[in-house]
Amino acid sequence: MRFVLLCGLFAALLSPVYAADWKLVWSDEFDKPGLPDSTKWGYETGFVRNHEKQFYTDRRLENARVENGTLIIEARKEQYKDAEYTAASLTTQGKASWTYGRIEMRAKLPTGRGIWPAFWMLGTGHGKGVKWPDCGEIDIMELVGFHPETVEAHCHTAKYSHAKAKGDRTTVTKPWEDFHIYAAEWFPDRIDFCVDDRKYFTFQNDGSTDGWPFDQPQYLILNTAIGGAWGGQQGIDDSIFPQRYVIDYVRVYRDAAAQKAQ
């Protein structure tokens, strides 16, 4: 009997991290060719953050388009305005936000030294009187090109930011060749991060207001940066361009039982 119980416990520890009953509440399956759906996505534009080298463009097919059932975010080496590189950063800010749930993306990632794709979230107070990192940031997936098979997740808060940010990393073999599912499962007491339903990091609610701003809505961002404070630490290899971040879908789920109780 003890052996059976131990085997059952071991199996439970290895089982997928899905909650018992997730209900899909929002998604983009990227099934309509052309520009991304403007009812779901807006754009950051220009030089936005982190001393990055790309100019983020707005509604430019060369940098963001839907084709063959996928969203393509393309980073390019080209002269554009005052920049030598272009890319896109799509956001649901002002269009959709969520508190708690499973947020997932199935994607193939760009690769090469200087590239920096991400799938992440910011609190809706950002830009509306709440400064970063007080608004909270959930980095579901980040990769820098000089570590081409290392995917990372982080949480930034007023208490934990910059070098003190809480996070971890995992190895994904050739993520530029195959699609993988990158997800966060966000609960009132913790946020679990996983790749292909293999959990590799948990950020715990420490009960402090400056350590856990994650009881408020957050919106999504999908972007490819070039260079910058982290992505550019080993320079930029211009021979890699263009690079494509290929996204099959983005989906947001809520726990059906919790949603019904609200």
Active site residues per annotation:
137, 142
4's enclosing H/E stretch is helix 2-14
Half-sphere exposure for 114 (CA within 13 Å, toward CB): 20
Q: Which of 95, 97, 122, 100 is nearest to 254 (CA)?
A: 100
CA 199 to chain centre: 15
Residue 100: CB atoms within 10 A of its CB come to 19
Longest Cα pair distance anywhere in the chain, in angstroms? 71
Query: Which token pair is 57?
Result: 């463009």
The SS3 of residue 35 is: coil
Of 39, 40, 26, which is closest to residue 221 (Cα–Cα)? 40
Give the residue carrying structure tokens 């039982």. 257
DSSP state of 57: P
